[in-house]
Amino acid sequence: MAQTVLIDGNEAIARGAICAGCRAFFGYPITPQSEVGEYMSRELPKVGGVFVQSESESAAIYMLFGGVLAGERTMTSTSSPGFSLMQEGISWMAEDEMPAVIVEVMRAGPGIGTGGQQGQTDYRQITKGGGHGAYRCIVLAPYSVQESFDLIQFAFHLADKYRITVIVASDFIVARMAEMVELRTLSFEPLPEKEWALKGKSRKGGRHTIIMGGAFGHGGPQRYYPHMMEKYQQIVDSEVRYDTYKTEDAEFLLIAYGSSARMAEEVVDMARDEGIEAGLFRPITLWPFPEEAVRETACRIGKVLVVEDSPGELVEDVKFAVQGKVPVHLLGIWARHVPLGPGYWGGGSGIIYPERILEEVKKLI
Amino acid sequence: MNREAVTKEKICTAPKSKTGMPIMHCPGCHYGIIIRVICEVIDEMGIEGDVVGLTSVSCSGPWAYSFYFDSALCPHGRSPAMGTAIKRIHPDAIVFTVQGDGDLGAIGLGCFMNALLRAEKLTTILLNNGTYGMTGGQMSPTTLLGMRTTTTSEGRDYRVTGFPLHAAELVASMKGVAYSARCTVHTPANFQKAKRAVRTAFQKQIDGVGYSFVEFLSACPPIWGVSPVEALKFISEKMMAEYPLGEFKNVDSIL
């Protein structure tokens, strides 16, 4: 059995990445994920990897692009404002079908928001694409430290398997809480060599590569988009992931991801102690969204409450999935335990505690 | 004369590292000549197998199609960041960026300066034609004072837009730089000098000395509103007056 250690979500991401063969990291410090870069700066050189602290997130995303072009398993990590700065690069990498891995540790709000505290307010941006050009990225959302360690490994595999950018959507709580983690190296099906990597043609049998942009490279949008849609459909057909907790006999369904799913999971047991048969549906892939499974589960149970630390973004995908067949309720960022006050610091704090969620469940049952 | 008696000796051919892609630039544009400079140097140095060429969003973007070696079209102004990663991951590769004056001097100046600050072992080729050619002739960081463009219709006025960017001199002032030069291809003699500059720049990278940089003054006749021949005169009389040719730094160690 692999070694078990007590680490936080940020370190789990960094360790998991190295475990998955990530050998290049480019990033810019931003709360609450600077520890990922710190760990990489210390540990990557020990395994022959490359670490560069970039001058900004807009540079980091292009270093990531360059690293992926060079054929290396490459990663960057950032938080909400930095993720916004990266959107142009993500769009470009989508066009060139670059197998990049990006970690997005969400904080709250637009702009500087709360300056680095908890939030899940980037769901729409991460899942629908914040850049131009109607592209898709696979999005994986861990809800524990162990899952952070596992999903980052899976992210590198998926990126290379489909030649697509994969975003691991963490949040402040998942990133900053410490849990016991089994440092297990996951194994996946073998993948072909990256013959297209830019490294000088003498290093790949004399064949040179031209990376000219997807739409140009494929001979125009009429060819590019069908090619991409076929790939996206393959991913939708085979990579949807979700988890359920006590939904089999449930009479009330909670739907949540990331740290909110962690709270909601506890609510399931609390509710059951009080005689309410609650269950949890937790999307792990935010894209592809587990649309059919959500529809089936929600329609079977009938009463649905979405919990997210946001004004309501995941709830849109849930509503779309259930197609109006059952009512969908939302408990959002306003349900945090610290009431919104005038103070600079007080206004941003708080989280949605299980007790508050339970209160809402009782109201709706 | 008997046709059979005529000897045909090939005295000029396309560079080996240049693909058959036609040069698609405007009449009188110097970009095609500069492609030739780069490819001839790569052929002569025998480094085609090690080279990675990064082109930019500009008229030089499609050059990636012209190179018979690894190449990519990079987002606007970002090739030094992408080159940084490729070079760090493959230190034995020879990585160069080709950037326009807007790409390097405006949108990508931060990226470029930070790559210089990090003393990356890259080579950058700047194509300075004093305007945004691809978008139809707006003012660029290297537009000459007094020059009319579509965004300076009364001529560039330093009180509104500041002064032209002297990239080669700026680059030479940076500690991490091994080589910085400015050249032209508007005469055969200058073509040969330009080849020497590009060759030296690649050699500095191969020797691992530091960043190397070559700026080309390049004609853009349609945007300048002159004939290809008049454009040569414009380079020697106007452009070279503002942007003197020469080597501004050439060192064997950056320490």
Question: What tens digit of pLDDT does each residue of A221-234 get?
Answer: 889 999 999 999 99
In a domain, B35, yes or no: yes
Best mutation target among B70, B79, B123 (most A Cβ atoms within 10 Å) is: B70
Does pLDDT of A217 surpass 80? no
Q: Do A212 and B90 touch (CB under 8 A)?
A: no
Is B65 within 8 Å of A92 when comparing Cβ atoms? no
The percent of residues above 90 in pLDDT, for chain B, comes to 91
Asked whether residue B152 is domain-assigned, the answer is yes
Question: What band does B9 get if pLDDT is binned at 50, 70 and 90?
Answer: confident
Give the start-end residues of each E strand in A174-227. 178-182, 210-211
> Does the pLDDT at position A311 exceed 90?
yes
Question: Are B52 and B69 within 8 A, CB to CB?
Answer: yes
- Residue with the bigger pLDDT between B199 and B57: it is B199
Q: Is A27 in CB contact (< 8 Å) with chain B?
A: no
pLDDT at A37: 98
Q: Is residue B18 part of a domain?
A: no
Q: Would residue B220 count as lying in a domain?
A: yes
* A55: three-class secondary structure by DSSP: coil
Residues A118-151: tens digit of each pLDDT: 999 999 999 998 999 999 999 999 999 999 999 9
Question: What is the reported pLDDT for B5?
Answer: 72
What's residue B2's pLDDT?
Answer: 64
The token duo for A343 is 């103070």
* ipTM confidence score: 0.94
Closest residue by Cα to residue B124 from B167, B160, B89: B167
From the list A283, A334, A288, the residue with the least C-alpha distance to A158 is A288
The amino acid sitting at A125 is: Q
pLDDT at residue A116 is higher than 80: no
What confidence tens digit (pLDDT) does each residue in B46-98 have? 999 999 999 999 899 889 999 999 999 999 999 999 999 999 999 999 999 99
Q: How many helices (H) and strands (E) does chain B have?
A: 11, 9
Which residue type, as a one-letter code, is found at position A307? V
pLDDT at A82 over 60: yes
Q: How confident is the model at residue B12 (pLDDT cuts 50, 70, 90)?
A: confident
For A129-161, letters b (16+ CB in 10 Å) and e give bbbebebbbbbbbbbbbbbbbbbbbbbbbbbbb
Q: Which of B18, B39, B63, B86 to mutate to test the interface with A (most CBs of A within 10 A)?
A: B86
Whether the pLDDT of residue A218 is over 80: the answer is: no
Q: A334 versus B8: which is more confidently predicted? A: A334
Distance of alpha carbon A180 from alpha carbon A195, whole angstroms: 39
Task: Tell me if B203 is assigned to some domain.
Answer: yes
What is the per-residue pLDDT across A244-289, written as a single tens digit (0 to 9) for each? 999 999 999 999 999 999 999 999 999 999 999 999 999 999 999 9
Contact A66 B83 (CB under 8 A): yes
Q: Which helix (H) or strand (E) holds B131?
A: strand B131-132
Q: Whole-angstrom Cα distance, residue A186 to residue A156?
A: 11
* pLDDT at residue A26 in the model: 98
Closest residue to A67, CB basis, from B75, B89, B118? B89
Q: Which residues of B touch A200 (CB under 8 A)?
A: 49-52, 69-70, 90, 92-94
Mutate to test the interface with A, among B71, B82, B107 (most CBs of A within 10 A): B82
pLDDT at A338: 75
- How far does chain A reach from its first CA to its final CA, in angstroms? 44
Q: Which of A168-172, B21-25, B156-160 has the lowest mean pLDDT?
A: B21-25
Q: Which long-range contacts (CB under 8 A, 24 or more apart) does A107-110 make?
A: A107/A31, A107/A32, A107/A79, A107/A80, A107/A171, A107/A172, A108/A80, A108/A309, A108/A333, A108/A348, A109/A80, A109/A348
Q: Which residue has the tokens 């000098």?
A: B193
Q: Which of residues 214-233 of A touch B (CB under 8 A)?
A: 216
Instruction: Please check whether residue B7 lies inside any domain of the structure.
Output: no
**pLDDT band at residue B10 using 50, 70 and 90 as cut-offs:** confident
Our count of domains for chain B comes to 1
pLDDT at position A342:
58
The whole-angstrom separation of Cα B247 and Cα B214 is 9
Please give, rounded to a whole number of angstroms, the shortest distance from the CA of B33 to a CA of chain A: 21
User: Does any domain span residue B94?
Assistant: yes
Q: How far is B218 from chain A (nearest CA, A)?
A: 24
User: Residue A183, class by beta-carbon neighbours within 10 Å (0-12 exposed, 13-18 middle, 19+ buried)?
Assistant: middle
Q: For residue A25, list its beta bridge partners.
A: A51, A75
Report how many Cβ contacts below 8 Å link chain A to chain B. Answer: 126
How high is the pLDDT of residue A1?
A: 76
Cβ(A82)–Cβ(A28) under 8 Å? yes
The DSSP string of A299-337 is: HHH--EEEE-SSSSSHHHHHHHHHTTSS-EEEE-GGG-S
Share of chain A above pLDDT 70, in %: 97
CATH code: domain of residue B122: 3.40.50.970
- Which domain covers residue B154, as residue numbers? 25-250
Q: In whole angstroms, what is the distance from residue A351 CA to residue A258 CA?
A: 13
Q: Work out the number of other CB atoms within 10 angstroms of the CB of residue A65.
A: 30
pLDDT digits (tens, 9 = 90+) for A335-349: 988 765 655 555 557
* Structural domains present in chain A: 4-182 (3.40.50.970), 243-364 (3.40.50.920)
**Mean local confidence (pLDDT), B204-219:** 98
CA distance, residue B65 to nearest chain A CA (Å) = 7
- Who wins on pLDDT, A339 or A47? A47
Task: Give the pLDDT confidence score for residue A340 in this predicted structure.
Answer: 59
Q: With a CB-CB cutoff of 8 Å, which residues 162-191 of chain A face chain B?
A: none
Least CB–CB distance from A208: residue in B70, B74, B118:
B70
B3: pLDDT strictly greater than 90: no
Tell if the CB–CB gap between A52 and B84 is shorter than 8 Å.
yes
- Contact partners, residue A56, CB within 8 Å, separation at least 6: A28, A85, B110
pLDDT reading at A176 higher than 60: yes
Query: Alpha-carbon distance A317 to A298, whole Å?
Result: 13
Two tokens at A254? Answer: 């909670």
> DSSP letter string over A109-126?
SSTTTTSS-B--TTHHHH
List residues in chain B touching A: CB distance below 8 A: 48-52, 62, 64-65, 67-75, 78, 81-86, 88-90, 92-94, 110-111, 114, 118
B72 with A210: Cβ contact below 8 A: yes
The residues near B196 (Cβ < 8 Å, ≥ 6 apart) are none
Instruction: Kindly report, residue by residue over B154-188, the tens digit of the pLDDT.
Output: 999 999 999 999 999 999 999 999 999 999 999 99
Minimum mean pLDDT range among A180-184, A361-365, B59-63, B137-141: B59-63
Q: Average pLDDT, whole number, for chain B?
A: 96
The pLDDT, as a whole number, for residue A221 is 87
Nearest CB to A66 within list B49, B70, B82: B82
